């Protein structure tokens, strides 16, 4: 906690966090893509959230097509923006807004309890990186239009297209030579591997002259409490509920027995998940995988009970992280200033999620793609707060230990080792070649919300291409 001790500092903070007054509205800049039929509409330096002097911000829409309008918010790095890497942050859901990450986790500001003012976040990831937050798929957050995305696989091309339009524009063209970091959370365990693999495919097409576009110099992939492999992670609900390391049993012995039956019984979760994997992309796979997903959901429900699924230390009526930012984004003065034309901000609307549900996307594994990405040689981090239930660290670790890649045997033989920040343990980690796994102590699902200093320290090491280590 940083305390302000001078009256001048208090006065400066008050000026920096004031809600903008109603006026004629900001200047809306536009850019039309020469390569695609897309366009860009944006506001420069709205003064909302990031109030650090001299830090450039942009917010608005990437019109991927005439019917798909993708909301973005960009914050240049507070330090050395001309050389800092470029990071895309995506929250999960599927269908949850990345404004969650911006305001609750790693963005430049936090919203105060009045829902009308903000305070700068000293642990913002834009301390060291140029940060881009995107609401996807269509209908999520401030994005609007016709949603045609019904799976992880159909989501990837639209995100690629949005980045292409941004990087083609004069405002973003200088970032095309930077290392690109893809950082994602929760359903990002699906998004991250598929998007990274898709970006690599598109880059190769551009390099061979078969596609016009800008190559994305992907240097790192970060997955925070990800949903990667359902077969493995559904079993981890049983393991974690029986004994969450450092916290103890979450449920009774009789509930654990019932959960084991659900997983292993004839035509239980294990059998149905295996059937989903075996179905691949066949015409019957949607029904098979949807059925598996619905059946296995009881394991999660049993593990959670009356706890907060994102932080086992809280009840289902969890108060942290607070939702103050939703009220802030409901202020017309704010939406006007940032150029948000969608009528209402929607944090995690049902409609995008329901499209994914119909294809059984949640029950499909992205572990093969993750292994492929690690073997490309880019830096990959899978990290998880150890108080999260829904995408708990046991499931994340078991998934990566089962991953097929060149360092698999060495990872299995590498013990978890504590790293510290200023002498205090912050995580137990495994480092093998370009891959790292981290169990972050005392953090729930949204790691940077619970452990902001530790999260920033880990982020800095990943973008520097370093194995995780004590600081």
Tokens of 431: 């480092």
Tell me the residue length of the chain. Answer: 471
Q: Of 319, 317, 405, which is closest to residue 367 (Cα–Cα)? A: 405
| DSSP structure class, residue 422 | T
29 is catalytic: no
Phi/psi region, residue 225 (left: phi>0; alpha: psi -120 to 50; beta: rest), is: left
445 is catalytic: yes
Q: First CA to last CA across the chain, in angstroms?
A: 19
Q: Of 157, 154, 162, which is closest to residue 64 (Cα–Cα)? A: 162
Identify whether 321 is preceded by a cis peptide bond (ω within 30 of 0).
yes
SS3 readout for 343-383: CCCECCCHHHHHHHHHCCHHHCCCHHHHHHHHCCCCEEEEE
Identify whether 17 is preceded by a cis peptide bond (ω within 30 of 0).
no
d(CA 466, CA 436): 10
Which residue spans within 178-225 are E strands per DSSP? 180-185, 218-224
Annotated catalytic residue, options 186, 285, 346, 436:
186
Tokens of 30: 């536009």
Counting beta carbons within 10 angstroms of the beta carbon of residue 124, is it exposed (0 to 12), middle (13 to 18) or buried (19 or more)?
A: buried
Residue where the block lists tokens 């798909």: 68
200 is catalytic: no
Which residues are marked as active site?
Answer: 186, 388, 445
């Amino acid at each position: 906690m940083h305390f302000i001790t001078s009256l001048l500092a208090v006065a400066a903070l008050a000026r920096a966090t004031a809600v903008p007054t109603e006026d004629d509205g900001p200047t809306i800049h536009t850019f039309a893509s020469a390569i695609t039929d897309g366009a860009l509409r944006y506001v420069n330096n709205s003064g909302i959230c990031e109030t650090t002097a001299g830090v450039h911000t942009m917010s608005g829409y990437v019109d991927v097509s005439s019917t798909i309008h993708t909301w973005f918010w960009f914050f240049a790095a507070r330090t050395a923006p001309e050389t800092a890497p470029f990071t895309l942050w995506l929250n999960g859901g599927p269908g949850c807004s990345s404004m969650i990450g911006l305001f609750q986790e790693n963005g430049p500001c936090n919203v105060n309890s009045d829902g009308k003012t903000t305070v700068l976040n000293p642990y913002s990831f834009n301390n060291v990186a140029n940060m881009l937050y995107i609401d996807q798929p269509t209908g999520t957050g401030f994005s609007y239009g016709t949603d045609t995305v019904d799976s992880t696989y159909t989501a990837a091309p639209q995100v690629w297209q949005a980045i292409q339009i941004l990087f083609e524009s004069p405002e973003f063209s200088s970032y095309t030579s930077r290392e690109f970091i893809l950082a994602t959370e929760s359903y990002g365990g699906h998004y991250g591997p598929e998007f990274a693999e898709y970006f690599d495919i598109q880059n190769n097409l551009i390099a061979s002259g078969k596609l016009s576009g800008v190559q994305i110099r992907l240097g790192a992939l970060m997955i925070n409490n990800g949903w990667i492999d359902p077969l493995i992670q559904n079993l981890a609900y049983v393991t974690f509920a029986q004994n969450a390391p450092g916290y103890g049993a979450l449920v009774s012995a009789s509930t654990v027995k019932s959960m084991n039956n659900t997983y292993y019984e004839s035509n239980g979760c294990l059998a149905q998940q295996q059937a989903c994997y075996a179905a691949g992309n066949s015409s019957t796979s949607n029904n098979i995988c949807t059925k598996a997903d619905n059946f296995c959901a009881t394991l999660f429900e049993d593990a959670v009970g009356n706890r907060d699924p994102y932080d086992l230390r809280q009840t289902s009526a969890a108060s942290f992280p607070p939702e103050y930012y939703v009220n802030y984004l409901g202020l017309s003065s704010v939406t006007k200033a940032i150029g948000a034309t969608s009528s209402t901000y929607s944090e995690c609307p049902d409609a995008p999620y329901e499209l994914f549900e119909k294809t059984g996307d949640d029950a499909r594994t992205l572990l093969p793609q993750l292994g492929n990405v690690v073997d490309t040689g880019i830096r990959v981090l899978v990290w998880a707060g150890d108080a999260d239930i829904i995408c708990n660290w046991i499931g994340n670790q078991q998934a990566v230990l089962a991953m097929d890649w060149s360092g698999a045997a060495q990872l299995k033989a590498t013990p978890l080792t504590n790293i510290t920040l200023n002498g205090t343990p912050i995580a137990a980690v495994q480092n093998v070649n370009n891959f790292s796994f981290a169990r972050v102590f005392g953090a729930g699902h949204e790691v940077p919300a619970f452990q902001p200093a530790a999260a920033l320290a880990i982020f800095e090491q990943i973008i520097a291409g370093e194995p995780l280590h004590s600081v």
